[in-house]
């Protein structure tokens, strides 16, 4: 496997340290194991998508549009799972 692929897919997972420390040191952050697994999958897919875009699109100016699109989709899914912005059945309780 390509080392660049591994770095790009796994490096976003370090963001999970923020809610982990919040869960350990605060009563206000209440993440379950399922929350960590789901966010790990989402962050892994985000890293994989960005890696795919960087590998396939050679023009640097054209790259930015699909990367921004992927990030916006990620943020929309995250917001829906967190607080139910769109009111789908997948919204958190």
Helix 33-56 vs helix 60-83: crossing angle, to nearest 10? 170
Determine the 3-state secondary structure of 85 from DSSP.
coil
Query: What are the domain boundaries of the chain?
Result: 3-83
Any idea which residue has 């139910």 for tokens? 84
The string of pLDDT tens digits covering residues 42-51 is 999 999 999 8
Taking residues 52-69, report their average pLDDT: 93
pTM: predicted TM-score of the whole model, two decimal places: 0.83
Q: Which of 32, 39, 44 is nearest to 77 (CA)?
A: 39
Over 70: is that where the pLDDT of 92 sits? no
- Where helices occur in 1-93 by DSSP H, the ranges are 3-10, 17-25, 33-56, 60-83
Over 90: is that where the pLDDT of 1 sits? no
The string of pLDDT tens digits covering residues 62-87 is 999 999 999 999 999 999 888 888 87
Given pLDDT bands bounded at 50, 70 and 90, which one contains residue 38?
very high
């Amino acid at each position: 496997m390509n080392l660049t692929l591994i770095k790009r897919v796994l490096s976003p997972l370090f963001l999970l340290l923020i809610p982990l420390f919040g869960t350990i040191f605060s009563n206000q952050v209440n993440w379950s194991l399922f929350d960590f697994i789901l966010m790990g999958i989402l962050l892994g897919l985000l890293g994989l998508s960005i890696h795919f875009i960087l590998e396939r699109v050679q023009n640097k100016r054209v790259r930015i549009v699909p990367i921004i699109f992927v990030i916006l989709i990620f943020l929309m899914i995250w917001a829906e799972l967190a607080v139910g912005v769109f009111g789908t059945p997948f919204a958190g309780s």
